[in-house]
Chains A and B, each alone.
Chain A
C-alpha cells in the first residue's frame, strides 16, 4: 500500500522566500495494489504536486510517504533508489516526455540499463513489453519528433513497465492525446492494474475518464482533499458541494 499521510507542501518564492504559496495542505491518500484511485481537481489545485511528492520528485514540507509499510519520506536518495523501481510516474505532455536528442529505443534502454537487464535479454523484454503496450517495433529507432503523441506515450509506458512497478502515478497521461488513442491507452492501463496488481493514482480533471477508470476517487480543491470514497458513491451521492458542482457542470 502506498500511503500519503498529512502531506503539506509550500513553495517559497521571492526575496528570501517571503512569498509563501500553500500548494498542498494536509492531504492524506492511500493506494492499494491493484486499485486505481482517481484524483480530481481543477488546474492549480495541487494534484500534480501531490503526485510528484508521492514519488519524491518533490519533497513534502511536512507529512509522510509510506511505501508498503516503510517510511521513505526522509530516506536519503541513495537508499531510496531501491524503492524508485516500485513507484513510477507518467506525465501529461508527450512532446517533452522523452529527450528529443535520443531515439525512442535509446530512451527505453535507459530504463533497461538502470535495472541491469543483460544485453542478451533486452531484445526479448522489449518485444514482450512493446506487445503489451502496442508499440510498433519498427518505429523505435525514430526520434520523438517523428512519431505521434500516442506512440511516445506507449514508449514511455514501455520504459516504465520494464521496472515492474507496484505503483504508478499517472499525471493526466492521456489528456493531450486524441480520443481514440486515449481510449486505447486507458484500457491498457486498466488491464495492467488488474493483471499485474499495480496500484495507480490517476490524476485528471476529466470526470468521464475518472468514472471509467477508477475504483476510488478523491476530490481536491485549493490544496486540500475534500472527499474520498468509492467511485460509485462519489458519482452518485457526493457529500461535498464542490463534487456536486463538478458533476452538475459536466452533466
Chain B
C-alpha cells in the first residue's frame, strides 16, 4: 500500500533505511543468490536472453536477411552456417529470440490478466457470478487448445499479433482456476472480514488484501504461462502458421524442415533453435520451481 508507506511513522528510522540500502550491496545480493540458486540461475538465463533480444542488431555478425552462398557448413564467418537462401543462421537465431520472447510475454500477460480477473471475481463473489465464470472456464478448459489454435491461426492472417491474441485468449483457464482456489482460501481469513468491518469497500479489499495475498501464485503462474505460450507459438510456427516477417525459433525449425535442413542432416540449422526454446522454457520453470519450494502458498500450482 504505497499511500500508507509514504506516510510511515517509523519508530527506528535508521534500521529501516539500513534495510533499504543493504538490498543493493553485493554481499547481501550474494547471500540471496546462495539462498535460492535455482531461481537465480533461471533469472540469469533470462537476463542473458533478454539482453540478446534487445541488442540483436549490435551483436549479430550479419544482417539475417542478406542472402549469399546457400547451405554452407558452420565456419568462422558463419558460426551456424547458412540456410537455403544463404542467410546467416546464427544471426537469424539471435533475431528470432525477439519474436519468441515478445510473443511469450505478451501472450502470457493477456492470459494472466484474463485469468486473474476471472479467478478473482469467481473466488470472491458467491452465487451466480461464480457459477457463470467458472462454468465459462470449464467450457474453455474442455476445448482442445492446440487444434483450435491451429484452426484460428489458419483462418486469421499469419501475423505475430494474431498469434499473441490466439494464445492469450485461449490459455487463461488454468490460471483462472488456480487463482480462484487461492482466493477462496484467502477470503475466509479473518483480516478480510475485519477490514470490511472497518468500512472498506469490496474493491479496496480485493485490491489491497485479496490480490496481495494471491500474488505469489500469480507470479509463478505467469512464468509458466510465458513458457507455455512460447511452446504454443513454436508449435504453431513449426506447422507453418507463424508470421513470415517476424521469424521465431519455431519458424526456423519449420523452415529447416521444409527447405531441406532435416533431409540434408544439417543439424546446425534445426538444432540450435530447438535448444534455445528448451533453454528459455527451462529458465522460466527454474524460476517457478524455487518459489514453489519456499512457499506453502504455491502448492496449488
Q: What is the interface of chain A, defined by CB distance below 8 A to chain B? A: 52, 55, 57, 81, 84-85, 88-93, 96-102, 105-107, 109-111, 113-114, 119, 122-123, 126, 137-138, 140-141, 156, 159, 163
Contact = CB atoms under 8 A, between A and B. Distances in A.
Interface of B: 1, 3-5, 7-12, 15-16, 189-191, 193-200, 208-209, 212-213
Contacts of A93: 190
Given A111-B198, A163-B198, A141 B191 contact: no
B7 A119 contact: yes
Contact of B197 (A57, A101, A137): A57
A91 B194 contact: yes
B28 to A, nearest CB: 19
A105 B9 contact: yes
A111 B200 CA distance: 9
A18 B4 CA distance: 45
Contacts of A137: 11
Nearest to B213: A101
Given A91-B190, A99-B212, A110 B11 contact: no
16 contacts: A57-B193, A57-B197, A84-B198, A89-B197, A90-B194, A91-B190, A92-B190, A96-B190, A96-B191, A97-B191, A99-B212, A100-B213, A101-B212, A102-B212, A106-B8, A141-B12
Contacts of A92: 190
- Chain B CB within 10 Å, residue with most, of A93, A99, A106: A99
A109 B208 CA distance: 13
B13 to A, nearest CB: 10
Contacts of B196: 57
B199 A84 contact: yes
B191 A122 contact: no
A90 B190 CA distance: 9
A102 B1 contact: yes
A138 B193 contact: no
B199 A98 contact: no
A91 B194 CA distance: 8
Given A85-B199, A114-B198, A141 B10 contact: yes
A140 B16 CA distance: 12
A98 B194 CA distance: 8
Nearest to B205: A99
B298 to A, nearest CB: 15
Contact of B9 (A81, A111, A122, A163): A122
Contacts of B189: 96
Nearest to B1: A106
A141 B199 contact: no
A111 B199 CA distance: 9
A99 B213 contact: yes
Given A101-B212, A122-B7, 12 more contacts: A55-B197, A57-B193, A90-B194, A96-B189, A96-B191, A99-B191, A99-B213, A105-B9, A110-B198, A114-B200, A138-B12, A159-B198
Nearest to B5: A106
B288 to A, nearest CB: 20
Contacts of B191: 96-99, 107
B4 A106 contact: yes
Contacts of B197: 55, 57, 84, 88-89
B266 to A, nearest CB: 53
A84 B196 CA distance: 9
A190 B272 CA distance: 74
